[in-house]
Structure 1
Amino acid sequence: MDQIQHNFITVQGLKLHVADIGTGPNVVLFLHGFPEIWYTWRHQMIAAANAGFRAIAPDYRGHGLSDQPPEPDKASYRDLVNDILAILEALAITKVFVVAKDFGAWPAYILALLYPDRILGVVTLGVPYIPASSRPSFTKSLPEGFYISRFHEPGRAEADFGRFDATTVFRNIYILFSRSEIPIAAENQEIMDLVDPSTPLPPWFSEEDLKVYGAAYERTGFQTALQITYRSKSDDMGITELIVKVPVLVIMGRKDYFNKFPGIEDSITSGKVNEFTSDLELVYMPEGTHFAQEQAPDQFNQLMLTFLKKHI
């Protein structure tokens, strides 16, 4: 960890934090999910550097050590993609592999669709590519207390999270979202109330790890993260190509609650996801949860590095 360098790159007046390790000619760009930061990829960055790659992981605007945008309620996926391109430009990187998870998969796929000549391959955790036109509507198929529906409502999650310090919010998120059931609250219940305060952290996530995340979000709050992830649209990017034509590896955790989202399992078992990706590998981690990259890093790293080396 002490070999990871931390730099700041100014993009559109914002200082964006980028973690960086390794000096290899081939670069791996790591994109985090909600509500994570670069740190979620610490095991993968070190493994990639040890395998001869350069690994970089930004904190998105309004996340971690990066600056808040001036209008957090207007932050969008377009901002993320533009920020990523500006970071690559500042670092004089022309081509990358992209490794992403959770909502970070969408900017990864957008980059592959818009700039296929710059993307050597994409690895995503838990999120196969399905265009908006073919994507099932999760919010219409699940109860009102579905966490995405709650997080989509401006101010609802902020008020829910605001009852606790950021470290407690993260403790609850890692406990709740590492389970196999979709987080759904009752009508008179908030999402944070789904976790009993006495519940221990998952055994693979330490108190020291929790402190890193908690400190980051004590600084930034959750507004920008919620806005980008749940309230902005990932598809209004001028995308006309609906097929991802770069090699893609999707790593699915068998115990990831996302598998139970309406239509996801059917899209995979029927082979429908293959219609939208010209070169797709899909593998399962039998015990993997939503945080499989932290839960079982050695297993995840082996899958990731095998793919990366195959497509150099």
Structure 2
Amino acid sequence: MGDKIEHSHLDVRGLSLHIAHIGKGELGTVLFVHGFPEIWYSWRHQMIAVAEAGFKAIAPDLRGYGLSGQPTEPENTTWDDLVADLLAILDSLSVPKVFVVGKDFGAWPAYHLALYHPHRVLGVVTLGVPFIARNLDNDTLPEGFYILRWREPGRAEADFGRFDVRRVVRTIYILFSRAEIPVAERGQEIMDLADSSTPLPQWFTEEDVDAYAALYETSGFRFPLHMPYRSLLKVTGPADPKVEVPALLIMGEKDYVLRFPGMEDYVRSGTVKQFVPDLEIVYVPEGSHFVQEQFPEQVNQLLIDFLKSHL
């Protein structure tokens, strides 16, 4: 399947960014923005589906991830840099307008591209994370909450460093595919929440782990820990944001993100529509945080229906 997807490198804002792409784009272009612990490969099912539906699919490895270049000073990268990178990719490929699809922390740059450059965006789709107008306050969660642990300089590096990259990626995929938030007990680290005997989700193969691990062997975790975890409190945006383009949110009913304080009420009550008025929300009953890999056919159909209805 993946051999249909082509790969290029673009010189973007002083970095070489790796881009996966497929499709001729008769109907337009779809830009896919990954989260963590993901890379372009996370979109393999969606890229082929939208290409077969008449679109061009573009999925970069974000700066510091996968086969893309590492910033010389990773800790100085901001969320605005990610938006600027996406815009520069579109300019480099002479794409005037695009549908943007963001997963996990990729929802922020996807939505901010629409907020700051609405003339370039036809619509926004996010998976696993809705539009969030303010910084996340996770301080009501226990000390062992994975984001609090990984925000602490050196903590994750020591935790991850006990294992090879493949084991780290495998464990994170297992933890993030569960319905409960990963929280370590006192005296325990996040990597201790699963061991080598813990089975992978049925929809994720050892070959998939190999694909991710190979790219994290290249990039390491220094930048991915900075972006998103050590930058979450630095997300900025307009004081009264309004996303004016059509939007779709796909949430797995068993996505652990819905367990974040206030998150489920924010989405289900429709409060999120104060900021994204033209928003459709679809719940996938057994869906996890990796709903696009778990139920690719269902997500592909939702995605293609949205794209075609907003041409």
TM-score (norm 2): 0.96
Q: Find the counterpart in structure 1 of residue 92 from structure 2.
A: 90
CA deviation map 1:27-86 (0-9, x unaligned): 000000012100000000000000000000000111111111101222221221111111
Alignment of 1:211-230 (within 5 A): 211-230=210-229
Q: Any unmatched runs of 5+ in structure 2? A: none
Alpha-carbon distance in 1 for matches of 2:147, 2:45: 28
Alpha-carbon distance in 1 for matches of 2:238, 2:279: 20
Q: Find the counterpart in structure 1 of residue 256 from structure 2.
A: 257
Give, as a single letter, the amino acid of the residue that structure 1 aligns with 2:90. L
CA deviation map 1:77-110 (0-9, x unaligned): 1221111111111000111001111000000111
Alpha-carbon distance in 2 for matches of 1:237, 1:8: 29
Alignment of 1:203-218 (within 5 A): 203-218=202-217
For the 8 Å contact 2:133–2:237, the answer to whether it is kept is no
Give, as a single letter, the amino acid of the residue that structure 2 aligns with 1:253. G
SS for the counterpart of 1:173 is helix
Alpha-carbon distance in 2 for matches of 1:99, 1:211: 25
Aligned residues: 309
Deviation at 1:165, TM superposition (A): 1.0
Alpha-carbon distance in 2 for matches of 1:238, 1:219: 32
Alignment of 1:227-238 (within 5 A): 227-233=226-232, 237=236
SS for the counterpart of 1:140 is coil
Q: Find the counterpart in structure 1 of residue 196 from structure 2.
A: 197
Q: Find the counterpart in structure 2 of residue 119 from structure 1.
A: 121
Alpha-carbon distance in 2 for matches of 1:238, 1:268: 20
SS for the counterpart of 1:117 is helix
Q: Find the counterpart in structure 1 of residue 45 from structure 2.
A: 43
SS for the counterpart of 2:156 is helix
Alpha-carbon distance in 1 for matches of 2:234, 2:226: 15
SS for the counterpart of 2:24 is coil
Deviation at 1:158, TM superposition (A): 1.5
Q: Is 1:19 the counterpart of 2:20 in the alignment?
A: yes
Q: Find the counterpart in structure 2 of residue 290 from structure 1.
A: 289
Give, as a single letter, the amino acid of the residue that structure 2 aligns with 1:188. G
Give, as a single letter, the amino acid of the residue that structure 1 aligns with 2:59. A
Alpha-carbon distance in 1 for matches of 2:235, 2:167: 35
CA RMSD of aligned residues (A): 1.4
CA deviation map 1:245-286 (0-9, x unaligned): 111100010011111111011112322111111201001000
For the 8 Å contact 1:11–1:83, the answer to whether it is kept is yes
For the 8 Å contact 1:113–1:241, the answer to whether it is kept is no
TM-score (norm 1): 0.96
Q: Find the counterpart in structure 1 of residue 172 from structure 2.
A: 173
Q: Any unmatched runs of 5+ in structure 1? A: none
